[in-house]
Structure 1
Amino acid sequence: MIAQEQWYKYLQLLSEKYPSRQSVYAELIHLNGVLSLPKPTEHFMSDLHGEYESFFHILNNCSGVIKEKVDKVFTEKMSAEEKADFCTLIYYPTEKLSALKKKNLLSPEYYKKTILNLLDLAKFMSYKYQPREITNAIPKGYGTIIDELLRGRPDADYVPRVYRQKMLDTLISIGSGRDFIFAFTVLIKRLAVARLHIVGDFFDRGKRPDAILDMLMHHHSIDIQWGNHDVLWMGAACGNETCIAEVVRITLKYNNVEVLERGYAISVRPLFLFAAKMYPSDKPNEAAQKAIAVILFKTEAQLIKRNPDFAMQSRILLDKIDYAEKCFLWDGKKYALRTTYFPTIDPQDPFQLTDEECAIIKELRSSFMESAQLQHHIQFLYQKGSLYKCYNGNLLFHGCVPVDEKGNFRPIHFEGKNYSGRAYLDYVEQKIRQAYFGEKDPFTIDFMWYLWCGINSPVAGREMKTFERTFVKDKKLWEEPTDAYFRYYDQPWFCEQVLQEFGLDPNHGHIINGHVPIKVKDGETPIKAGGKAIVIDGGFCRAYHNKTGIAGFTLVSNSRGLRLIEHRDFTNVKAAIMDNKDIESVSKSVEVQSYQTTIADTEDGEKIQEQINDLYHLMLLYKNGILKPLE
């Protein structure tokens, strides 16, 4: 009875939006039509690692989709050079028009011809979208005119042809041609990619993760699955001193202080001054790396000791150095050190920070927590991000779901309970959100560091050997054991098990991961388990290009299936603008369907069907006189 009353109240509220039978009819007709449209295109990318210029270009060229569409529409109308020039205009309209202006090439004829070409391309690309979506995709302020131009049929009759001609002549004569070109290019990019998924890791060794995040904050439709580097920075923004020390160490290692000082107004000058005093014989950056590394390993040890649930006692290592013999003791053996000078470590109490170290990490903590730009970006990661996402039958997550040596979901103990599979990932996400938005209890803040490097972390999936790689010469101790997940995700039965755990169809769903660079140059394939899992870390960051042999992947999902695009090296944005240099990309089919997927087959389609069901019930209430129309 209560449920019926609630249902009736809901329909009463719905009647305020649809106050007449005619309004219900119109919406039912519209929504049922929408369900028959082709599924919009989704793009998946991962492991950007701060590589701004390449990502900026790929975002602008929509992973080569724009070029493909231009080739189709203008095959007979444009030469190869003209098509390249037209594509560059779409990618970089402001810069390209400025370059043309310097050459005195911006005539009324140019504006008219270009706008007509952009109009033809936009029409071609809008076929799979409902009119409302197209209108919403047009930049604010240009909707009325561009909408009319898109819907007009000048070839059908003389009157609409004259009408369009007059509109174009007027917008050019009043000096708005440049603005409308820009608006059309924005619309075309939005039509090319309806949804963008970033499967983790904005941060690491690239120069401008801050610029990437700035750009994506204006994206029309995006979701994010956090990676281990993202969680590390999120932990730093929460005030975790060990995360902060690790972030600073990594930025110094890759000579990338710019992202801290220019991107986030976080000064490392006090650290450099301290390091110069402690390590006067070293170069400034090397000295600073040593200074922050010691702070890192001291705070790590303290954190591990107060969190026995982390089961990471084996990572307490400063006390394994024989400071008299100047070697590292491990498993009954002695190993040579890369440095034997530790002026801030007391061998009798190696985990204790000195007063100066304590002051440095406290000041860095204040800087991270008070950086308005960093907090702005971290809030965006929380708003658009999650640990995993089930979307249109696919399972997206950056790293792994921890499993044992037999491929079974491994039970993991935290706060008095065991978690495994999806339940464990849900627990982890809850703790990540609590660390930023909830009460700042020590365990939750410490947990952010654990997620960065813990063997049971779903975003890391390996035991990191940062200490050994920093201080120990023997590379045998550098090997980092990984979760068994990465040995099993090439097995169809295992991928089906994971998909089922998350409530997805094991026969048609896909797991989409990042995190592990795919060595394409060595013949490794990103397509695992016959296509049930796809690993899309293609080494976007330049530092990985020699390792992978390519410059990143984009996975494209459209109404006809899946295809994987391999990107080659990108020169730079200047060359793209001045010389029409585009990224060379190779497209490979992953899965080709004999049928076309429609919106009815998607998650959005399920929501639309629910709306349709509700509207049918409202229509019946109107027809049967149970509810009086408001109009």
Structure 2
Amino acid sequence: MTTKELPAKYLRLLAEKYPTLASVAERIICLESQLALPKGSEHFLSDLHGEYESFYHILNNSSGVIAEKVEYVFGEFMTESEKAEFCTLIYYPREKIEELHKKGLDTPEWYRETIAHLLEVAKLMTYKYPARKVKGFIQKDYADVLTELLYSRPEQDSAQARYVASTMAMIVQIDCGALFVEAFSNLIKRLACATIHIVGDFFDRGARPDAIIDNLIAYHDIDIQWGNHDVLWMGAGLGSRVAIAAVIRNSLRYNNTDVLERGYGISLRALTTFARRAYPDESPVKACEKAVNMIMLKLEGALIDRNPDFQMQSRHLLETIDYNSCYCRMNGRRYELESAYFPTIDPKDPYRLTEEENAIIDDLVTYFTESARLQQHLDFLYKKGSLYKTCNGNLLFHGCVPLEKDGSFAAVTMEGRTYHGRAYFDYCEQRTRRAYLQRREEDLDFLWFLWCGRLSPCSGREVKTFERSLLTDESTWKEPSDPYFKLIDRPEICSAILAEFGLKETGHIINGHVPVKVKKGESPIKAGGKAIVVDGGFAKAYHKKTGIAGYTLISNSRGLRLLAHSKVADVKAALAGNQDIESVSETIEIQSRRQTVGDTDEGRIMREEINDLHALLRAYQNGILT
């Protein structure tokens, strides 16, 4: 880019940020040098489903990366038990020091030795980052001391060795060893992972999705691709009556009402009182589930009526019930019901809510929309989230790209216009954001559709809530899915999808949503590595189905590898016995050369800035600007 290609107005605006020739030159040098550094590590996880303790441990040990670095530095100098204890200290420094203090093991000598070991690991992990960025990663109160230690070279000079030894001694002498151990541990965890991508579904099944989000709100670099359970909660937080009913029904079904009551301060008292009267022979939880399930099915019926675009008329099922007997009719067949007891339904008008049901759902809308913590989390999901993301040649989304059986992109008509492929994703995201800004009923309805619609890119399957909750015949529970889930095994389909989103054939599709049944021989790696499904079943409810406890996909300067977590220790297990994550690593792709920042999307943006800065530099040098 030449100076003439940049408008004078833009040059003047750029000059406000860089007012001198020296400031421009310094910025160009800094950016150019960063392009040559190794690419930072990206971690991809999906379908966390509220499993806070497992996720918290994986976050702290950076999916096993920290243990690998400790092995690299101290493999020959520490025993296995010493390395395990040292890793636990990095993961949970405050808790581990408290444990050692009770045993009288946190001596001055231990602090000096431990800080020296932490310094060695931290030094190794700083090589991917420029010095000024590393200083920004350090807790402000300790930045000067830690920076001095990180860039010291005691092995090369005796004066440097004395300087480091003196610094260490003073830290311990003034009784600040614990503070610096924690500061170093936090720095190491920060250096271990440059970016986390959460490919959908914080919510459902597990008890504490709210705690997971609390941990990630302050995370240094994170993006989110909304999952179907996320958009359901987003709809509930925005006041959708049907989404609220579905959220409560799911929470009761999986016995995880903690997230409602403790997490977000949402009271179920009115629902519980009503349910006990309506279903006196059931346990309180089961009675509540039945009561809110009926409310949900009624609200769904009205929603489907007012949204023919969703093509979900087949889910109009309450009118198929013979309320005088114990069966319903679907597709010309008779199916037995679990119960013929429907105290809240008027057979002549099955989708009408009773006055008390209306009052209950209105009360719950108030709780959801006035929960300050839920609204904070909702803002976070919108700020950091999107329906899909293209990043460093990879395409990230939660569910599927709706396809026809022949592999062509399915045409979906919404609001009078027809969309397919990327255009459909863009439309869905725009409408999801419109729901947040305007909160109109039709857009809140759309969030419910994204949760369970067959044509939804977040779902891609026909969710059988009616059948699973009311029918005894389990053959009716099977949920027909979009052809995408079978066709993704074909390389040419993956290539077509990547091209649709403007990516090269060398890229990868990374998504979650469908748990990989490893124990049945399924592989998360599809189409020879073109597509990778990172749903390994974090939720304990899935462990028997998948045979593992989750996946982490890691992309670093050397390539792609997938970690299958066979066992994830929780905090108590880690502290009690220095137990760690047990993972099996599988290399998916090795780069022919080490990837640098210059090979990334960030590098492309930096090059654009460098070109602009060169134009400004020439303007200064030629006297066009002073």
TM-score range, shorter chain: over 0.9
CA–CA separation in structure 1 for the residues paired with 2:572 and 2:439: 46
2:464 equivalent in structure 1: 465
2:393 equivalent in structure 1: 393
Paired residue secondary structure (2:468): helix
**1:21 CA drift (Å):** 2.1
Paired residue secondary structure (1:562): strand
Q: Does 1:567 align with 2:561?
A: no
**1:174 CA drift (Å):** 1.8
**1:449 CA drift (Å):** 0.7
Paired residue secondary structure (1:349): coil
1:404 equivalent in structure 2: 404
1:384 equivalent in structure 2: 384
Paired residue secondary structure (1:403): coil
Paired residue secondary structure (1:203): coil
Instruction: Summarize the Cα distance change of 1:5–1:549 in structure 2 as closer, same or farther, 3 Å threshold.
Output: closer
CA–CA separation in structure 2 for the residues paired with 1:431 and 1:283: 40
**1:32 CA drift (Å):** 1.2
Unaligned 5+ segments in structure 1 are: none
CA–CA separation in structure 1 for the residues paired with 2:307 and 2:25: 61
1:603 equivalent in structure 2: 601
Q: Does 1:356 align with 2:356?
A: yes
CA–CA separation in structure 2 for the residues paired with 1:488 and 1:175: 62
**1:613 CA drift (Å):** 0.5
CA–CA separation in structure 1 for the residues paired with 2:335 and 2:25: 78
1:454 equivalent in structure 2: 453
**1:7 CA drift (Å):** 2.2
- In the alignment, is the contact (CA less than 8 A) between 2:369 and 2:375 conserved in 1? yes
**1:571 CA drift (Å):** 4.3
CA–CA separation in structure 1 for the residues paired with 2:568 and 2:555: 24
Q: Which amino acid aligns with 1:569?
A: K
CA–CA separation in structure 2 for the residues paired with 1:341 and 1:154: 79
2:251 equivalent in structure 1: 251
Q: Which runs of 4+ in 1 moved over 4 A?
A: 3-6
Paired residue secondary structure (1:44): strand
CA–CA separation in structure 2 for the residues paired with 1:269 and 1:128: 53
**1:190 CA drift (Å):** 1.2
2:516 equivalent in structure 1: 518
Question: Of 575, 580, 592, which aligns to 1:577?
Answer: 575
**1:6 CA drift (Å):** 7.0
CA–CA separation in structure 1 for the residues paired with 2:603 and 2:460: 35
Counterparts of residues 266-277 of structure 1 (less than 5 Å): 266-277=266-277
**1:208 CA drift (Å):** 0.6
C-alpha deviations, 1:43-95, integer Å up to 9, x for none? Answer: 00000000111111111111110111000100122111110000000011111
Q: Does 1:26 align with 2:26?
A: yes
Counterparts of residues 56-455 of structure 1 (less than 5 Å): 56-437=56-437, 439-455=438-454
CA–CA separation in structure 1 for the residues paired with 2:123 and 2:281: 66
Instruction: Summarize the Cα distance change of 1:609–1:367 in structure 2 as closer, same or farther, 3 Å threshold.
Output: same
Normalising by structure 2, what TM-score? 0.98
Paired residue secondary structure (1:367): helix
CA–CA separation in structure 2 for the residues paired with 1:17 and 1:571: 49
**1:557 CA drift (Å):** 0.3
1:552 equivalent in structure 2: 550
C-alpha deviations, 1:398-443, integer Å up to 9, x for none? Answer: 0011111111111111111001110100010011111112x22221
State the aligned residue count: 624
Q: Which amino acid aligns with 2:18?
A: Y
Aligned residues: CA RMSD: 1.2
- Identical aligned residues as a percent: 56
CA–CA separation in structure 1 for the residues paired with 2:402 and 2:414: 14
2:504 equivalent in structure 1: 505
C-alpha deviations, 1:551-570, integer Å up to 9, x for none? Answer: 00000000111000010123
1:44 equivalent in structure 2: 44
Q: Which amino acid aligns with 1:196?
A: I
Paired residue secondary structure (2:140): coil
C-alpha deviations, 1:304-339, integer Å up to 9, x for none? Answer: 111111111111111110001221111222110011
**1:23 CA drift (Å):** 2.2
CA–CA separation in structure 2 for the residues paired with 1:108 and 1:16: 52
CA–CA separation in structure 2 for the residues paired with 1:300 and 1:4: 60
CA–CA separation in structure 1 for the residues paired with 2:5 and 2:586: 54
- In the alignment, is the contact (CA less than 8 A) between 2:325 and 2:340 conserved in 1? no
Q: Which amino acid aligns with 1:258?
A: D
Paired residue secondary structure (2:298): helix
CA–CA separation in structure 2 for the residues paired with 1:29 and 1:440: 48
Q: Which amino acid aligns with 2:526?
A: K
1:474 equivalent in structure 2: 473
Q: Which amino acid aligns with 2:290?
A: K
CA–CA separation in structure 2 for the residues paired with 1:15 and 1:443: 47
**1:42 CA drift (Å):** 0.5
Q: Which amino acid aligns with 1:296?
A: M
Normalising by structure 1, what TM-score? 0.97
1:626 equivalent in structure 2: 624
**1:40 CA drift (Å):** 0.6
Paired residue secondary structure (1:142): helix
C-alpha deviations, 1:86-122, integer Å up to 9, x for none? Answer: 0000011111011011111111111111111000000
